[in-house]
Amino acid sequence: MTVFKVVRVDLSTEKITEEVYKEDLVRKFLGGRGLASYLALKEIPRGVDPYSPSNKLYIFAGPLSGLATLATSRITVVTKSPLTGSLTHSNAGGNFAYMLRRAGYEGIIVEGRAEEPVYILIKDGEVSIRPAKHIWGKWTGAATKALLEDAGIEPDEKKAGVATIGPAAENLSRIAGIRFSDYERFAGRGGVGAVMGSKRLKGVVVWGTRDLYSLVVDRRRWIEETGKLAQRLASGPTAKALHTYGTNVLANIMNSIGGYPTRNFETGYFEETEKISGEHIKQHYVVETHACAQCPIACTQHVEVKSGPFKFFGKAKYEYETTWALGANLGNGSTDAVLKLEKLANELGFDAISLGNTLAVAVELAKKGKLNLPIDWGDPASFIDLVIKTAYRDGVGDELAEGDYRLAMKYGEPEAFVGSRGQGFPAYDPRALKGFAISYITANRGGDHLEAYTPTWEVLGVPEKVDPLCDTPECIKKQVKLVVYAQHLMALADAVTFCKFDTLDKEGLFENDLAHLFNAAFGWDATPQEMLTIGERIFNVERLFHVKEGRWVKDELPPRMRKEIPTGPAKGHSAAKMFDEGIKEFYAMRGWVDGKPTYETLKRLGLEEFQYLL
């Protein structure tokens, strides 16, 4: 029988309990984002303040985490977001999920609030709450080392799993994330780090020796399936590009089609993209390539800036999204400055996407004379001190720590916020990649590219090629159908939990492969359709959380996306038609009315227990 074992830690009472969820529930939601979202809907009280001790933090691995070399070592964090005021999920790579399972658990549920800073230590099934007052205040890199030393583990991130927060989360910035080992992996979006900070939880350290392979039922079949998949995943053209240049291989590609948002989505083309591209950084700054635990792709690039005004000591991890957020989004074409800002964001514990979006709103407000700050597009030196002030809520940093949505609204400039559900958009302009006009807006956690990654079909042609600029009725129907499918597949990925990069090639990992893997690992008789239905069930549970809160149920396109792109290859295009017509198709395909699931939909998905929310 497949079970999911979690440890529940109440920081207020210091009570520690184990809970085991049986196979019938695991087959409905798996783990990760799936089971955590279901529990959050059941357990988090309606209307609770995200910073209240009554809010809960779910840190979950998945049933396949640590079992194979298939990039299944993602970790998912679910909570009520201080940024959006509703359910959020955030995801990170590294080795934490693998180590958590070796330590004897599939998940951790944190509730309550400690009187003084603490950390949770899990060693081979032994769980304790330990003082962390001496570690509180440290930046994330130093905090990680201090946590390992205090736990009596060699201060090497590869030796144990570590989750920690920095000053941004300690000071309850709504755009703070959680750093995971190894190395500078972040569950960034939704302010999940601030929830951890509100509980005075500085970190979690996990270490164990459990033999995960012993859990596999049909070992011969498992070896066959994982061997074939690992070879496929590593040999695909997208995987090879990611290994060579990292995720930032996308910068030149997106800019070439006019979908690279520039100066807070003023346009979709940045004149200095080449200087912050993956190709340029690979040639001049990358010092090593790294992989998450048990991953055949190894897309992580570590960089150094060794001289000049933006030099920093030690290596830094950089990504496409963060380079965009602190680069083109700010009109910043200085490679040194972009990498310095990324390093600073990671050390202070920010979601770098939301940090960049917030700085972009601040520039707009400053240029309109509404915010008295000496900042401008393309002036990176002015941002360094401002980022530090934001982490410590120092002066104007106190306003920026609230995030882009609240900053724009406070100064009466709602159009300066480009996002949905209170969370800013990432590094793709939905006027040039029109599938995002549906997927961004309907994403349950707010402006998000990972709930349905439309470049998969708009650029890579997987599973079929769709013109990203086409908004004819036929194209709209095709886009919506693919978005819905991708939303189910991505929710499934986060519940397994496997890396979404596994789905970017035609030879990637999809629902039929997952059915084979679960059947081999646990003796199930799962079908590909059952796998997709799990994803659909998860997506509907998340939407029900919005219904429960009475918040963000309506799907709305931000005003700036109704304007035409003024320059670049996508000049003259807007997202208005795709959204206005596509959202009707989306609701019909989902079995929703006005953004809410119907009773018939809940019944079909086995979610009748939540019909009281309708």
pLDDT confidence of residue 1: 62
CA 554 vs CA 377, 420, 547, 603: distances in Å = 33, 10, 10, 22
Q: Which two tokens stand for residue 259?
A: 């979908």
Stretches in the chain below the pLDDT threshold 50: none
DSSP 104-168: T-SEEEEES--SS-EEEEEETTEEEEEE-TTTTT--HHHHHHHHHHHTTS-S-GGGSEEEE--HH
| CATH numbers and ranges of domains, the chain | 4-215 (3.60.9.10), 218-245+421-557+575-614 (1.10.599.10), 259-418 (1.10.569.10)
For residues 526 and 30, what is the distance between their CA atoms, to the nearest angstrom?
12
pLDDT confidence of residue 205: 98
pLDDT confidence of residue 375: 97
| Count of other CB atoms within 10 angstroms of residue 434 | 29
For residues 488 and 2, what is the distance between their CA atoms, to the nearest angstrom?
22
For residues 101 and 564, what is the distance between their CA atoms, to the nearest angstrom?
49
Element holding 6 (H helix, E strand): strand 4-10
Q: What SS3 state is found at 513?
A: helix
330 near 383, Cβ under 8 Å?
Answer: yes
State the residue for tokens 């809960």: 56
Element holding 601 (H helix, E strand): helix 599-604
Q: What is the pLDDT of residues 478-508, one digit of tens each?
A: 999 999 999 999 999 999 999 998 888 887 8
504 near 236, Cβ under 8 Å?
Answer: yes
Quote the pTM value: 0.97
Number of DSSP helices (H) and strands (E) in the chain, helices first: 23, 19
